[in-house]
A and B are shown apart, each in its own frame.
Chain A
């Protein structure tokens, strides 16, 4: 059973600080990795995807992938109250579907 694990939180971070969200997965053959943000009562929306080991930056967001250790993380710099949401990690294990983690609820404290 291929799995994606996240700490459910809640994770509370002061405004302006760095929020760090982590995700581990079970299969070394995994191919692609996604971070989605979901506001309460809304649908998931893509934040970033990453395919290769290392860091990928997009504005205040950085995704970090370490395939040897089987984890992917999302850093949010200069956290804003509008970043408060549930963050879903999703992994394509090469089996034509995305497997989602249970999500981490992030709260940015003004």
Chain B
């Protein structure tokens, strides 16, 4: 009965490849997020969508492209992967934008070789 799920859990790939990470939430939330957590455990927001509309787009290379086919799904596609993209990527969701608790998925551990 997972609330926020992500696939895959682990992703090991070569530099230059293109990969996607999928996220689904069954909480009925309107807002979904992508975060990147680096090796120093710093958690930084990348994108957020509210009802399929892009709300937040932080300073992220345009090799990263989010896509929300419906409000229960938010996918992340990464082109031309670089070594520095190695991190844990967390998807999260919340009922709304302000003052709302965010619930995190289990994370996708990406290693670029």
Contacts and interface: CB of A to CB of B under 8 A. Distances in A.
State yes or no: do A and B come from one complex. Answer: yes
Contact of A102 (B42, B56, B102, B107): B42
Which of B42, B90, B102 has the most chain A CB within a 10 Å cutoff?
A: B102
A97 interface: yes
B48 interface: yes
Interface in B1-59: 33, 40-45, 48, 55-56
Nearest to B55: A96
Interface residues of A, number: 22
Which of A96, A99, A102 has the most chain B CB within a 10 Å cutoff?
A: A96
B45 A49 contact: no
A89 to B, nearest CB: 11
Interface stretch (B64-72, B74-82, B93-101): B93-101
Given A96-B48, A96-B97, A100-B44, A46 B103 contact: yes
Given A97-B48, A97-B56, A44 B43 contact: yes
Interface in A57-106: 86, 88, 92, 94, 96-100, 102-103
A22 interface: no
Interface of A: 31-32, 34, 38, 42-46, 49, 51, 86, 88, 92, 94, 96-100, 102-103
9 contacts: A31-B98, A32-B98, A43-B104, A44-B90, A92-B98, A94-B98, A96-B55, A98-B102, A100-B44
Interface of B: 33, 40-45, 48, 55-56, 90, 97-99, 101-107
Given A92-B98, A96-B98, 19 more contacts: A31-B98, A34-B101, A34-B102, A42-B106, A43-B90, A43-B107, A44-B43, A45-B104, A88-B43, A96-B48, A96-B97, A97-B45, A97-B56, A98-B45, A98-B102, A100-B43, A102-B41, A102-B42, A103-B42
